[in-house]
Chains A and B, each alone.
Chain A
Amino acid sequence: NAGVTQTPKFRILKIGQSMTLQCTQDMNHNYMYWYRQDPGMGLKLIYYSVGAGITDKGEVPNGYNVSRSTTEDFPLRLELAAPSQTSVYFCASRDGGNEKLFFGSGTQLSVL
């Protein structure tokens, strides 16, 4: 099992550019999450999904979009990148039986 896989690991964007952060998991987990991590701020929930076809906003959804067309994949889209979106992004998943999250290794994004 690969677990939760995120790509790319690093990316630099110019202001106004768009990109998609990819996340896939092979554990057949229904629940998937996107977090951003800023220094000293912990993790903030951006979006989450409780199953294919269902997505919900988290604490900080502005400037982001998600889709969940399959159980395995949960891409995060940035449409008009802004410097405030410079952060480390983590995807995570879990099954429905408990709250134990499995995390990907993260994507470090810089918007200049």
Chain B
Amino acid sequence: GEDVEQSLFLSVREGDSSVINCTYTDSSSTYLYWYKQEPGAGLQLLTYIFSNMDMKQDQRLTVLLNKKDKHLSLRIADTQTGDSAIYFCAEPGSARQLTFGSGTQLTVLP
């Protein structure tokens, strides 16, 4: 089955860049996803990347995909306190059912 792994915690200073990493196992996924969960709320789709791309930029967000190593990363430029949240990487695999990583708790320090 699919397996998605992420580190549990990341702390950065306000204004710095954050990089959240993820590894996955199923190479058949057409898209790979990043979700954001703010305290007390459900997950919201943050961004996604088509598996044929190696980079996608969306304002302060940059997604990098290394398909050979099955490695996905999310970079947040100029991190703000409002970016403090849990970030989940997810892949659908061949069954098109999303498997989520354990989530990375991002803490932005003033």
Contact = CB atoms under 8 A, between A and B. Distances in A.
A90 interface: yes
Interface stretch (B12-20, B40-48, B53-61, B76-84): B40-48
Contacts of B98: 99, 101
A100 B43 contact: no
Given A45-B97, A100-B48, A40 B102 contact: yes
B44 A103 contact: yes
B10 interface: no
A42 interface: yes
Interface residues of A, number: 21
B24 interface: no
B100 A99 contact: no
Nearest to B92: A99
B101 A42 contact: yes
Contact of A90 (B8, B42, B45): B42
Contacts of B100: 35, 42-43
The 8 closest A-B pairs by CB, nearest first: A103-B42, A42-B102, A99-B92, A43-B100, A42-B100, A103-B43, A105-B42, A106-B42
Interface of A: 4, 33, 35, 40-43, 45, 48, 58, 90, 92, 98-106
